Structure 1
Amino acid sequence: MHSPDTSAGRSGCPIDHTSPAGCPVTERAAAFDPFEDEYQQDPPEYLRWSREQEPIFFSPKLGYWVVTRYDDIKAIFRDNITFSPSIALEKITPTGEEANAVLSSYNYAMNRTLVNEDEPAHMARRRVLMEPFTPEALKHHEPMVRQLAREYVDRFIDDGQADLVDQMLWEVPLTVALHFLGVPEEDMDLLRKYSIAHTVNTWGRPKPEEQVAVAHAVGNFWQLAGKILEKMRLDPSGPGWMKYGIRKQADYPDVVTDSYLHSMMMAGIVAAHETTANAAANALKILLQHPTAWREICEDPSLLPNAVEECLRHNGSVAAWRRLVTKDVRIGGIDIAAGSKLLIVMSSANHDERHFEDPDLVDIRRDNSSEHLTFGYGAHQCMGKNLARMELQIFLEELTKRLPHMRLCEQKFTYVPNTSFRGPEHVRVEWDPALNPERANPQLLDTNSPVRIGEPSRHAISRSVVVAGMTKLTEDIVRLRLTSPDGRALPRWMPGAHVDVECGSPDMSRQYSLCGDPDDTQGLEIAVLRESDSRGGSVWIHDNLKVGDRLKIRGPRNHFRFDESVKRAIFVAGGIGITPIIAMALRAKRLGIDYEIHYSGRARKTMACVDELLDIHDGRLHVYAKDEGRRCDLTALLATPMADTAIYACGPTRMLESLESCCAAWPDDAVRFEHFYSTIGTLDPAKEHAFEAELKDSGIVITVAADQTLLAALRAANIDVQSDCLEGLCGSCEVRVLSGQVDHRDVVLTRAERDESSKMMSCCSRAVGGKLVLEL
């Protein structure tokens, strides 16, 4: 890249200009125009050249620096002091004097909102107004969203064709937005017109002859918002975010001011309505353009949450946002001067191959889809993200359930020219009404899939598998072979990996280690011990499953990974704990690693795969059956640390505790355990203390009560954290720790990782002292 230079018109520059970037401005940078149809159709593809060659460039047409890579944009979002949001609602296209006079005649005074407000005012207001956006508070909106979606589909279900935008995806989000804000459902067509006008006025490029009409619509919108607000003031009781804000004004008059409420009334309608409407239209368009993905979510509704995240990543409704640089700064190796304006293109970042593997692929099982930047990040992340997620899941469920045979009509998709918000103006579809599933099965409409509110779906992406084989290994152990229903290859995995199996319902999920051959991509194998006094998962598998049945699994994932670089390995297993060791030992043999297996059990007849292991591993396998009078002396076996040797152990808690004691002199990273259960138990508030968690990126401090987990406190504050087992077993709820001492209670981290205290499991671990600082 060039160094800063204020010269103008230098030889080689494609245009005559004065630029903070100096000359030459590259030809593509000079030509960049986000109002062109090519950009509107596919911003990530339009900016591919930038991500690859010039990730930060100056656009003379806009007068903005344009930022296109993931890491650069996330860094900008994380620092809302250096990169002020104050210009987020500034008109990107200045309007003429006549249009400005029209706005003044309406006393238009759009002021600061949560979107464009600097600190410290921003966080003060955000904290006061956050509660209605939390997952818990949003739950009661679900029936209303479902009812609306059902009613709108009812209107066209038998027509055989529809424009999903005109007939559903625009009006339903608007109605939901009005309900959420507490606005009466009146003047819907007028509000729709005003919402579009506000968007064009702020982020669009209205032609000179259009500017006056747009100004009148925005002025009318402003006055209508004020009138609605005054009605609410007469009776601020009842549901609705605006009424909640009016009530909070009584307690915090200096934080929630009159002008602020008026601005938020208008901005809230646009934010809650248009972004979700566009996101829904984008999602339906992209899924119907990918028939395999559409078919899979039709067949497996549990994929809907992650499909929503992938659609938001691949084709989000908020393409770009803006920031003002408050001091000289260096971004991605480029010096940017104070006062510069940034257009940060999140839709481009969401296709950055440095962060997303094969980013142009629509992969509804992508395990990091929820890391998209469509909602922003940090202190200014979209407060309404979880309401949008709920709506999108319900819309997709209603349409996949009732119109799985729906397809796109031949059409050219058009977009309203806009730098930030994007979605097709029309999505025309068709189907054969005679094939509507509900005609043959009226009960189809009686069941709904669970909606995930708040928690993104990484580590919780289910796939359907068929029980292709069941082999009884012992009286109480059965081995299952699981294959893909359509015969396709299953994900590759490494020794030590496990899958989560839904045992009858999503609420009863159990982890089982993979015990097959990692090189076998056609099937996954697990062995399940029937435990009558357990929580019910193994009993369900033994009593209910048969060959040909379908199961839902998640994973594979691995926090007990076998290190293939070790020179020597000692494998220790107790009972059903042999399952992950089977794959590890097989891999060690194939790699030529020196190894030995020590396998203990009550009786040889209760021990799985003994004969199979003897055939493969011969003299390297040592079997200790209690009924034969043999016992593994762990102290003698492990008393002396051995160089270049790793220990992998899985089995009952007592065995692992004894082994850990025996290995006290071994290096921290030499011993790895896989646990069956967690022993953290239920929180006892009498034995706990409350502590604070400062969320560095979000700019807030939360209090974790004595009777509350960190994970629960984070979700209550509307912070996205993945989770699965809630017991400290699976490792999915890991968060980064910047400072503070952690009381580790998981069974995932190694001793070295615990001592370092740079990460913790938020579902169970706590602070030793009064405060932790987290990278969230």
Structure 2
Amino acid sequence: MTEHATLGDFDVSAAWHVAGPYPFLARLRREAPVFRSAQLGAYVLTRYADVRAAYGDPRRFSSKGSLTISRSLTQETRDKLGEHGSFLSSFVANVDPPDHTRLRGSVSRAFTPRAVAALEQEFRRLNEDLLDRLAPCGAADFVTEIGHEPSVKLTARFIGVPEEDEAFVQAHVKDWFQLFLSPQPPQRQLELAASFLDYLAYVDRLVAERAARPRDDFTSLMTSLIGAELTHREVVELISTILLGGNDTVPNQLGNTVLRLLREGRWPVPEPLLAGASEECMRIDGASLGSFRYATDDVVLHGVTIPAGSLVLLSTDSAGHDESVFPEPERFLIDRPNAADHLVFGYGIHFCVGAALGRLQLRTALEVLGRRLPGLRLVPGQEIAYRRSLVGRGLTGLLVKW
């Protein structure tokens, strides 16, 4: 019997792929820690030590082109995208040194500890303002009405997106994720490709405007480096992808976290436990499921040869549930001592440049929500569903009341 038939495979069209992959991933860790997935067209590393080591070895596991995962796109869609089919080709998480060193150095100027701390007060105010409006309602869809707005607005103000354009950006970010990170039928691909090109054109115009009339925002800072440290395309891609994180990844993590805390009966979280609870929720219900890399040489691991040029998925989702690192990994421990050792933000030179800001947003949102809505609870009888995705975990909705 073949390994594929024995173990099964990832099925990105099935709900369990995002919602409940842990029995499958546990089998892979035990029986096939280096797994060739026909569905993903990639080798999958599932053990914590292997995932961490691959992150820390950019020479053998290259990031170059790793985010440009458009393999499922039809030729017609690729033709429509043209040169933009390789979008993210110069994004900081998608390149190797020396380009990575140069790009990360530029971006890091905007993510100093002082700058990140200054954003906390604004993010707190955005959450308070939202709850001033919603608290009297007594019920809401957490995903669509609570979880996204503060992060979307904070990211927009950080980048320099005008308030009247926030809805446009949020809608197009959702289309971006659908196009590149989840399977779509051919006609839908073309619709999403058109939306994606509109999104890039918008960011390109924003960069041009800030070049002509700089302001106190991230776009102006990055635009000022064009010619000296960065290219125009690099700035467009940097801004585009930071907008992706603020409009999608951070809100998804908040939704996953609130669902976990409500299910575990740990709402609201006392302030001394907020940091640990946030890390444990990222470990057990991470919004990011992993990252792709390319093997630059033949890599032999656990008796399996990964041929040079192969695509490799570093499964941070599996790593966060590795029983050799996190005892009783399916059990939620709000004070787990090593919860922050999860790899949701990556590791090594590609450790997420926005990690401090993401952590701050999660802790701040939980503090404000817990104080303002201590009676928050799930609406009974609802179906909990996740978006289909290759590398992300996000709820389609979450009905709550208080």
CA shift digits 1:571-608 (9 cap, x unpaired): xxxxxxxxxxxxxxxxxxxxxxxxxxxxxxxxxxxxxx
Q: Is the 8 A contact 2:67 2:88 kept in 1?
A: no
Q: Give the C-alpha shift of residue 294 in structure 1.
A: 2.1
Deviation at 1:423, TM superposition (A): 1.2
The alignment status of 1:424 with 2:398, answered yes or no, reads no
Which among 154, 176, 183 is matched to residue 176 of structure 1? 154
The equivalences for 1:201-216 within 5 A come to 201-216=179-194
Gaps spanning 5+ residues in structure 1: where?
Answer: 1-11, 13-23, 432-776
C-alpha distance in structure 1 between counterparts of 2:387 and 2:181, whole Å = 10
Determine the structure 2 residue equivalent to 1:225. Answer: 203
Moved more, 369-378 or 193-202: 193-202
Distance change >3 Å, CA 105–CA 111, structure 1 → 2: closer
Deviation sequence 1:398-423 (CA, Å, 0-9, x none): 11111111111121122221111111
Give 1:393 shift: 0.9
Q: Is the 8 A contact 1:413 1:424 kept in 2?
A: yes
1:408–1:430 Cα contact (<8 Å) kept = yes
For residues 340-355 of structure 1, the aligned pairs below 5 Å read: 340-355=310-325
Does the CA contact (< 8 Å) of 1:103 and 1:219 recur in 2?
Answer: yes
- Out of 280, 305, 322, the position equivalent to 2:254 is 280
Could you tell me which of 32, 38, 57 is aligned with 1:54?
A: 32
1:459-493 CA-to-partner distances (Å, cap 9, x unmatched) read xxxxxxxxxxxxxxxxxxxxxxxxxxxxxxxxxxx
Q: Which residue of 2 aligns with 1:625?
A: none
Name the aligned partner's letter for residue 103 of structure 1: L
Query: By how many angstroms is 1:254 displaced?
Result: 5.1
Structure with bigger strand share is 1
Contact 2:211 2:224 (8 Å CA) reproduced: no
**Partner Cα separation in structure 2 for residue 84 and residue 226 of structure 1:** 28
In structure 2, how many angstroms separate the alpha carbons of the residues matched to 1:110 and 1:379? 17
Deviation at residue 425 of structure 1 after TM alignment: 1.4
**Distance of 1:105 and 1:308 partners within structure 2:** 39
1:85 aligns with 2:85: no
C-alpha displacement at 1:112, in angstroms?
Answer: 1.1
Q: How does 1:716-735 map to 2 (within 5 A)?
A: none
- The residue type equivalent to 2:230 in the other structure is V
Q: Return the alpha-carbon distance in structure 2 between the equivalents of residues 111 and 204 of structure 1.
A: 19
* Alignment equivalent of 2:139, drawn from 155, 161, 173: 161
Q: Does 1:371 align with 2:344?
A: no
Kindly provide the amino acid, as one letter, of the partner of residue 182 in structure 1: G
Contact map agreement 2:56 2:347 (CA 8 A) in 1: yes
2:297 aligned with 1:327:
yes
- 3-state SS of 1:342 partner: strand
Residue 384 of structure 2: which of 413, 435, 439 is its match?
A: 413
Contact 1:93–1:205, Cα closer than 8 Å, also in 2: no
Cα shift at 1:92: 4.5
Equivalent AA in structure 1 for residue 314 of structure 2:
I
Gaps of 5+ in 2: none
The answer to whether the 8 Å contact 1:323/1:343 transfers is yes
Q: Which residue of 1 aligns with 2:284?
A: 314
Please tell me whether the aligned partners of residues 121 and 255 of structure 1 are also in contact (alpha carbons under 8 angstroms): no
Amino acid at match of 1:347: D
Out of 277-286 and 59-68, give the one that drifted further: 59-68
1:185, 1:332 → 2: CA distance? 52
Distance 1:407 1:28 in 2: 41
- Code of the residue aligned with 1:112 in structure 2: it is S
Q: CA deviation at 1:236?
A: 2.2
Aligned position for 2:221? 244
CA contact (8 A) 1:106 1:220 kept: no
Change (3 A) 1:192 1:237: closer
Shift of 1:109: 5.4
| C-alpha separation in 2, matches of 1:46 and 1:209 | 32
In 2, Cα distance between the equivalents of 1:317 and 1:234?
37
Q: Which has the higher helix share?
A: 2
Asked whether the 8 Å contact 2:156–2:166 carries over to 1, the reply is no
Distance, in Å, in 1 between the alignment partners of 2:183 and 2:372 is 39
**Secondary structure at the counterpart of residue 44 of structure 2:** strand
- Encode CA deviations 1:159-189: one digit per residue, 9 max, x unaligned: 1211111112122211111122122222222
**Aligned-residue offset at 1:281:** 0.5
Q: Distance in 2 between matches of 1:428 and 1:28?
A: 38
Is 1:131 equivalent to 2:109 in the alignment?
Answer: yes
Map 1:605-620 to 2 at 5 A. none
Percent same amino acid at aligned positions?
28
Residue equivalent to 2:364: 394
Q: CA 1:57/1:169 → structure 2, altered by over 3 Å: closer, same or farther?
A: same
CA distance in 2, matches of 1:158, 1:51: 48
Which residue of 1 is the match for residue 213 of structure 2?
A: 235
Distance (Å, rounded) in 1 between the aligned partners of 2:180 and 2:58: 21
Q: CA offsets per residue over residues 210-257 of structure 1, 9 Å max, x none?
A: 11111111111111111111111112241x2222112233xxx35311
TM-score using structure 2 length: 0.95
Q: Structure 1 residues 326 and 108 mapped into 2: Cα distance closer, same or farther (>3 Å)?
A: closer
Distance 2:151 2:297 in 1: 39
1:516-535 pair list within 5 angstroms:
none
Q: Which residue of 2 is the match for residue 151 of structure 1? A: 129
Contact 1:320/1:345, CA 8 A, preserved across alignment = yes
Contact kept in structure 1, 2:182 and 2:389, CA below 8 Å: yes
Which residue of structure 1 lines up, in the alignment, with residue 328 of structure 2? 358
Alpha-carbon separation, structure 2, partners of 1:262 and 1:352? 37
Closer, same or farther: CA 181–156 of 1 in aligned 2, 3 Å:
same
Provide closer, same or farther for how the CA distance between residues 161 and 28 of structure 1 changes in structure 2, counting only shifts above 3 A.
Answer: farther
The separation in 2 between residues aligned to 1:403 and 1:278, in whole angstroms, is: 19
Q: Is residue 106–residue 223 contact of structure 1 (8 Å, CA) maintained in 2?
A: no
Specify which structure has the bigger relative contact order, considering alpha-carbon pairs within 8 angstroms and separated by 6 or more residues. 2
Could you tell me which of 231, 256, 267 is aligned with 1:294?
267
Equivalent position of 1:404 in the other structure: 374
Paired residues of 2:203 and 2:236 also in contact (CA < 8 A): yes
Bigger Cα Rg = 1
Structure 1: distance between partners of 2:328 and 2:199: 43
Deviation of 1:29 (Å): 4.7
Q: Is the 8 A contact 1:67 1:343 kept in 2?
A: yes
Match for 1:396: what amino acid?
L
Cα deviations by residue, 1:666-715 (Å, 9 ceiling, x for unpaired): xxxxxxxxxxxxxxxxxxxxxxxxxxxxxxxxxxxxxxxxxxxxxxxxxx
Deviation at residue 44 of structure 1 after TM alignment:
2.9
Query: How far is 1:126 from its partner?
Result: 0.7
The question of whether the paired residues in 2 share the 8 Å contact of 1:108 and 1:219 is answered with no
Over 3 Å counting, the alpha-carbon distance change for 1:49 and 1:144 in structure 2 is same
Q: CA deviation at 1:327?
A: 0.6
Q: Once the 2 structures are TM-superposed, how far is the Cα of residue 131 of structure 1 from its aligned partner?
A: 2.3
CA contact (8 A) 1:30 1:61 kept: no
| Structure 2 contact 64–89 (Cα < 8 Å) conserved | no
- Give the structure-1-normalised TM-score: 0.50
Name 1:549's counterpart in structure 2. Answer: none
